[in-house]
Structure 1
């Protein structure tokens, strides 16, 4: 019996020394002596790495537009339309002006307007208040519950939207036209105003005005009208009678708002400017700095007369 036990013990010791698993015992292997175990564990490690990488990618935040803060108190003090401001003659005027534009942009007008969400604000000559109109119009539209608005500073020769809003110049429209690797979301600025974003003019370029008439601009406008079809896009454009680029831009718009300064802009200039945008389906005129009710007096604010060039209806409002 003893001989059998000794032989069994010797056999067990041989198995242990050889690294052979023994039933009923935990096995402690040296990693360097078990190549098969290391080999079989590699796919598991790769799988865990891939799963971890996928989870990391899924949890990574998507790129969002840069955020800027607009000084609403300063804008309100300067006579601009701002959210949550008390009702005023100016806010009422822009309610009147924006309503047909919104109807045309959303297909609620008399007829469907191609690119109706692309609205260009311009004038015959500089100094007639088009940038003031563009900013206020975009602000007023953004106050609507069901609309988002993008304001584009397309007056590349004399940009003023950013400075008026108290913001520094940043990459924008010109950068999009010059660099095809840049997307709109890379230069779009979110603001502290609900439903209101900005697209600056961009960095200065010596051929900035020519870029507005380039094929790149045509492609960008087409892309914007489709990609942001649910968004109202307001363009502050160069004056129509200064450059032909403004007219090229106008040919891709669904609606044009032309600002005319009361008792300053010549009738011949208005007629000439209108003749350059005949291709646009909807043209509206806004009279800036109209007289108040007092004889021979002007209001401190901005007064607007409004006329739809394709219709008979007119409405007028002036600041008290």
Structure 2
């Protein structure tokens, strides 16, 4: 798989191993409010994410992809909801460490979805305001999952993502052990060029599609804008009539090979 930028020239930042991070127990009330059920294997609503997890694992293995972005055409289509549930579902069964990185620098929501109250985040690493990456990462208790949230920044996100600090950060993620799985919650495609810039450093992306909102034209245009980074699949969110109907849960998926 070919990336658009040779990241070997960047000196990698050292990304801490999961066991080096501060442990935190996620806020059950925050999870319930946000519909985050991927941690709960006994919750029937988590089953669609388990099925999605298996498909994604097979897809990543075939494509030799390790750094994966999750995006959507426009805001409000469920990409962060999907990113967090998928990361939680993967971490429940994977012996390999799972890293979830919030790269939606202007609208990051992963911290609030988990009930975390960070004092700094990924954006601070990129600006240089925070020097210790371990200070912005959290190990989720009882899960093989590390979450690196961000605090929303008001401006300059594209410049940060195009800069040397992010190149070094991405190189550090790539330098993690080969079995590691890295999911990056990206900004929506039409919200600016942040997603396009970020994907220069990643192996591919998943595109979240809102079945009641996103049009076929928007999907095609988003994929066109993100070329030549491969789309590893589309995930249909809020789908009525799919596998989730049996579980009375408003979620469905359709992973299509776009490469």
1:104 is displaced (CA, Å) by 4.4
Aligned pairs for 1:16-35 (under 5 A) are none
2:35 matched to 1:79? yes
2:257 equivalent among 301, 309, 317 = 309
Q: Which residue does the alignment assign to 2:6? A: none
Cα distance change of structure 1 residues 273 and 203 upon mapping to structure 2, 3 Å threshold: closer
Q: Is the 8 A contact 1:142 1:196 kept in 2?
A: yes
SS in 2 for 1:121: strand
Provide structure 2 residue ranges, at least 5 long, that are not aligned to the other structure: 1-18
2:239 matched to 1:284? no
TM-score by length of 1: 0.67
Q: Which residue does the alignment assign to 1:151? A: 100
Q: Which residue does the alignment assign to 2:9? A: none
Distance in 1, Cα, partners of 2:205 & 2:152? 26
4+ runs of 1 displaced by more than 6 Å?
A: none
Distance in 1, Cα, partners of 2:202 & 2:55? 16
TM-score by length of 2: 0.81
1:95 equivalent among 43, 50, 64 = 50
Distance in 2, Cα, partners of 1:159 & 1:181? 17
1:194 is displaced (CA, Å) by 1.7
SS in 2 for 1:276: helix
2:224 matched to 1:275? yes
1:67 equivalent among 12, 20, 23 = 23
Q: Is the 8 A contact 1:261 1:289 kept in 2?
A: yes
1:215 is displaced (CA, Å) by 2.6
Distance in 2, Cα, partners of 1:181 & 1:146? 30
RMSD over aligned Cα, in angstroms?
2.6
2:210 matched to 1:255? no
Distance in 2, Cα, partners of 1:78 & 1:84? 14
Distance in 2, Cα, partners of 1:227 & 1:310? 27
Over residues 291-312 of structure 1, what are the superposed CA-to-partner deviations in whole Å (9 max), with x where a residue is unaligned?
137xxx9x9633223132247x
Cα distance change of structure 1 residues 121 and 145 upon mapping to structure 2, 3 Å threshold: closer
Provide structure 1 residue ranges, at least 5 long, that are not aligned to the other structure: 1-62, 312-320
Cα distance change of structure 1 residues 77 and 202 upon mapping to structure 2, 3 Å threshold: closer
Cα distance change of structure 1 residues 264 and 206 upon mapping to structure 2, 3 Å threshold: closer
Distance in 2, Cα, partners of 1:307 & 1:177? 33
Bigger Rg, which one: 1
